[in-house]
Chain A
Amino acid sequence: MDFATLLQMLDATLRLATPLLLACLAGLYSERAGIFDIGLEGKMLAAAFLSAAVASVSGNVWLGLCAGIGASMILAAIHGLASITFRGNQLISGVAINFLAAGLTVVVAQSWFRQGGRTPQLAGDARFNPIDLPFAEQLREVPIIGTIYYELISGHTILVYVALLMVPITWWVLYRTRFGLRLRAVGENPAAVDTAGVSVIGLRFAAVAICGVLCGIAGAYLATALQAGFTKDMSAGRGYIALAALIFAKWRPWYALYSCLLFGFLQAMALRSDVVENVIGFALNNQLLDVLPFILVVVLTGFVGKAAGPKAGGEAYVKER
Chain B
Amino acid sequence: MDAMPKWADVILIPVISIVLAAILSAFVILAIGENPWEALKLMVSGALGSTYGWGYTIYYATNFIFTGLAVAIASQAKLFNIGGEGQALLGGLGVAVICLFIPWPHWTLALIGAAVGAALFGAAWAALPAFLQAKRGSHIVITTIMFNFIAAALLNFLLIGALKAPGMEPATSKFPEATHLPSFQDMFNFGDTTFFRGAPANVTFFVALAACVLVWALVWRTRLGFEIRSFGESESAAKYAGISPTKIIMVTMLISGALAGMMAINNVQGEAERLVLNAAEGAGFIGIAVALMGRNHPFGVLLAALLFGFLYQGGAELALWTSIPRELIIVIQALVILFTGALDHMVRMPLERLFLAMRRA
Q: Which residues of A are at the interface with B, using a C-beta cutoff of 8 A? A: 38, 78, 81-83, 86-93, 95-100, 102-104, 106-108, 110-111, 117, 237, 240, 243-244, 247, 285, 287-288, 290-291, 294-295, 297-298, 301-303, 306-308
> Is residue B147 within 8 Å, beta carbon to beta carbon, of the partner chain?
yes
Bits for B269-289, please: 1 = Cβ < 8 Å to A, else 0: 000000000000000010010
Q: Assuming the A-B contacts A99-B333, A287-B154, are A302 and B341 also in contact, with contact meaning beta carbons closer than 8 angstroms in the complex?
A: no
Q: Assuming the A-B contacts A288-B157, A301-B139, are A240 and B145 also in contact, with contact meaning beta carbons closer than 8 angstroms in the complex?
A: yes
- Return chain B residues, CB-CB under 8 Å to A81: 343
Determine whether the beta carbon of B153 is less than 8 Å from that of A288. yes
What is the bound-complex CA distance between A117 and B150, given in angstroms? 25
Listed by A's residue number, 27 A-B pairs whose Cβ atoms lie within 8 Å are: A78-B338, A82-B343, A86-B342, A86-B343, A88-B341, A92-B342, A93-B341, A93-B342, A96-B335, A96-B337, A96-B338, A102-B330, A106-B330, A107-B28, A107-B324, A108-B32, A110-B32, A240-B146, A244-B146, A294-B146, A295-B150, A297-B142, A297-B143, A298-B128, A301-B138, A301-B142, A303-B136
Bits for B117-144, please: 1 = Cβ < 8 Å to A, else 0: 0000000000011001000111101110
Among B80, B147, B328, contact of A298 (Cβ-Cβ < 8 Å)? B147
What is the bound-complex CA distance between A111 and B30, given in angstroms? 11
- Residue tally, chain B, CB below 8 Å to A: 49
What is the bound-complex CA distance between A168 and B180, given in angstroms? 62
Determine whether the beta carbon of B341 is less than 8 Å from that of A92. yes
> Dominant SS at the A interface?
helix
- Return chain B residues, CB-CB under 8 Å to A86: 342-346, 349
What's the nearest-Cβ distance from chain B to residue A233, in Å? 10
What is the bound-complex CA distance between A88 and B33, given in angstroms? 33
Q: Which residues of B are at the interface with A, using a C-beta cutoff of 8 A? A: 28, 31-33, 80, 82, 128-129, 132, 136-139, 141-143, 145-147, 149-150, 153-154, 156-157, 285, 288, 292, 323-325, 327-335, 337-338, 341-346, 349
Determine whether the beta carbon of B149 is less than 8 Å from that of A291. yes
What is the bound-complex CA distance between A75 and B207, given in angstroms? 40
| Residue in A closest to B325 when the chains form the complex, CB atoms | A110
Determine whether the beta carbon of A301 is less than 8 Å from that of B32. no
Chain A CB within 10 Å — which of B32, B141, B142, B345 has the most? B142
